[in-house]
Structure 1
Amino acid sequence: MNTEYLKGFLLTSLGVLVLSFDALLIRLIQVEAFSLLFWRGLLLGLMVTLWCRYRYPGKPLFYRDWAYIRSAVFYSICSILFVAAIHHTSVANVLVIISAQPLFAAIIARLFIGERSAPITWIAILISMFGIGWVMKDSWSSPNLKGDLMALFCGIALAAKFVNDRAVKHRNMTPALIFSGLLVSLISIFFGSPLALSGPDWGWMLLLCVIVVPIAFVLITIGPTLISAAEVGMLMLLETACGPLLVWIFINEEPSRAALQGGALVIITLLIHGYIRWKK
């Protein structure tokens, strides 16, 4: 087996597995969303700055072009909606809905940069939309609907960021995460109470923002450069499978039957789609 391929596969897999702890740690931090988001944004900006200074010495960290600004804004929206969604619905619902972002990306890419997708992709989109609708079916008359819709728009914002970055793939858009983190932190000052954390919350928050998110970010940045995009999409489904499982094990939040059924449909659809595209 090609050693570079194996390296990319293992790095991406490890990065996604580390990222699977994200939702669990958000659940364990007992503060409202914006109080957590202040530190998540600030520390993400700091850690990415250190990474960029190490990996790309001498390169600027901030740019004033629209591609950079769009990338930062889309990721800021995604970050805020992800944390807020975790606070308003089940982790399983959030991760299943967001897992369809590669298919959202296909729609956005077709509309805004004229990128055509294969017929199999549009079939996968229709099936996945049905799966997401099934996950959300019990939420229409419950408070969970707000969280499910946040997760849906989070997936769309993340897809928009990926399409934006792909449109300027000759550039390294990693520094946009710095501006994004600072933007999230700035917004959170007005809506949260950053010093409201107490006791164990500080430990969970530091574990999340200084270790889990940066390590996952570095691994998921390096790994996908060595394997195909279809394989990256398949490996990202590890978070959809492992995230709810970790929450179930550690804090006994059991996924609903609809989340399991709809999630299985979405994951199987994406796996088959990724396999077909990879074979071609």
Structure 2
Amino acid sequence: MGNLTERQRGLTMAFIGIMVLMPDTILFRLIDTNLWTLMIWRAGFQGAVLWVALILLRGRKLPEDVRTLGWPGAGFALAMGVAAVCFNLAIAWTTVANTLFILAAMPLWAALLSWLMMGERIDLRMGLTIMAAMIGIGILVTGNDEGGVAHWSGDLAALGGSFTMAAGFSLARFAPGRSMVPALAGSTFVPVAFGIAMGGLALPLQGDMGFLFVMGAIIAPLSFALISSAPRYIPSTEVSLIMLLETALAPILVWWIVGEDPGPRAILGGVIVVAALLVSNLVGLRRIRA
């Protein structure tokens, strides 16, 4: 990327990050190992990669990095760990489409939390976006998919994951200028501990270990590194626009490859959510450039 402008570099990093992340939900559907064992191994691989990378890059400075994060870092780790648990539950208990469309509303919950925690004003654009997204989510959670996969428990788990992820990013704003990667590595202990508590401490079924390694050791760390680094070069609003690609395309790929039909109400609700976020982010990006 040496010959690219900053904008081209940021767009390229965000796009590659989303493309790397895209197969994640498909692999979930291809794995037969039980949910709790899957949760342990996926998070375990991710945590191992992150901790090894941190040790190699930071060395003796790592304990000080962790200490200086303080309570915002601890809160971030807990929130993101709970979000990871919720994501696993959502994928297992409802459709991929419902999960991703509900998770896409995370920036809206972050805006609400910023208003509650930091007194930041919610402008008309964000207020209208929140209302439209809530209508879309309401439509999709009341629908039925063709395969009977969708269930209110999974939709609720996705909503919990969206909210706790927003809480994590809101807490990270109390530690400006500090890398939250050590806290993210620490967050992987939550799904591992939860999976063990639920009796999932076992080897995956034959043939699933490779999928779990790809999900945890490659997809999760690499996509996070690229997507989280892109805002250094382009506005975060532009990164959010590119991230909508995964929200829109992943359910289609799962439908095509696995045959998981989300149903007409989920599609309608998802279109409303994605359209609301798309329009809102385009307006926000136009204001930034102006």
- 1:169 matches 2:173: no
In the TM superposition, what whole-angstrom CA distance separates every residue of 1:14-47 from its partner, at most 9, and x where no partner exists?
Answer: 1112112111111211122221111122211111
**Contact 1:127-1:266 at 8 Å conserved across structures:** yes
Deviation for aligned residue 1:2: 7.4
1:201 Cα deviation after fit: 1.0
Alpha-carbon spacing, 1:192–1:16, altered in 2? closer, same or farther (3 Å): farther
Sequence identity of aligned pairs in percent? Answer: 31
Q: Distance in 2 between matches of 1:238 and 1:161?
A: 23
Q: State the Cα distance separating 1:69 from its structure 2 match.
A: 0.8
Structure 1 equivalent of residue 120 of structure 2: 115
Contact 1:97–1:151 (Cα < 8 Å) also in 2: yes
* C-alpha contact (below 8 Å) 2:33/2:205 kept by paired residues: no
Q: Specify every segment of 5 or more residues in structure 1 that has no aligned partner in the other structure, as ranges.
A: none
Q: Residue in 2 aligned with 1:22?
A: 24
| Residue 242 (1) aligns with residue 249 (2) | yes
Q: Distance in 1 between matches of 2:59 and 2:232?
A: 20
Cα distance in 2 between the residues matched to 1:94 and 1:14? 22
Is residue 98–residue 150 contact of structure 2 (8 Å, CA) maintained in 1? no
Farther-moved stretch of structure 1 (81-90 vs 227-236): 227-236
What residue is the counterpart of 1:155 in the other structure? Answer: 162
Shift, 1:271, TM fit: 0.8
Report the count of equivalent residues. 279
SS in 2 for 1:192: coil
TM-score (norm 2): 0.90
Match of 2:61, SS state, is coil
- The 2-side partners of 1:183 and 1:156 are apart by 17
Structure 2: runs of 5+ lacking an equivalent = none
Which amino acid is the alignment partner of residue 61 of structure 2? K
How many angstroms does 1:267 deviate by?
A: 0.8
Instruction: Indicate which of 226, 232, 235 corresponds to 2:233.
Output: 226
Three-state SS of the structure 2 residue aligned to 1:175 is helix
Is contact 1:36–1:194 with CA below 8 Å preserved after alignment?
Answer: no
What aligned pairs does 1:1-280 form with structure 2 within 5 A after superposition?
3-60=5-62, 62-63=66-67, 65-138=70-143, 144-280=151-287
Bigger CA drift: 168-177 or 92-101? 168-177
- Aligned partner of 2:85: which letter? I
Q: When the two structures are superposed, what TM-score results if normalisation uses the length of structure 1?
A: 0.94
SS of alignment partner, residue 38 of structure 2:
helix
Secondary structure of the residue that 2:202 maps to in structure 1?
Answer: helix
Q: CA deviation at 1:57?
A: 4.4
Runs (4+) off by over 4 Å: none
Q: 1:142 to 1:208 in 2, by over 3 A?
A: closer
Maintained 8 Å contact 2:81/2:189:
no
Residue deviations 1:234-258, cap 9 Å, x none?
Answer: 1111111121122112211122111
Q: State the AA in 2 paired with 1:52.
A: L
The 10-residue stretch of structure 1 (22-31 or 142-151) with the greater mean CA deviation from structure 2: 142-151
For the aligned residues, what is the CA RMSD? 2.0
Q: Which amino acid in the other structure matches residue 211 of structure 1?
A: I
Give the AA of the match of 1:186: A
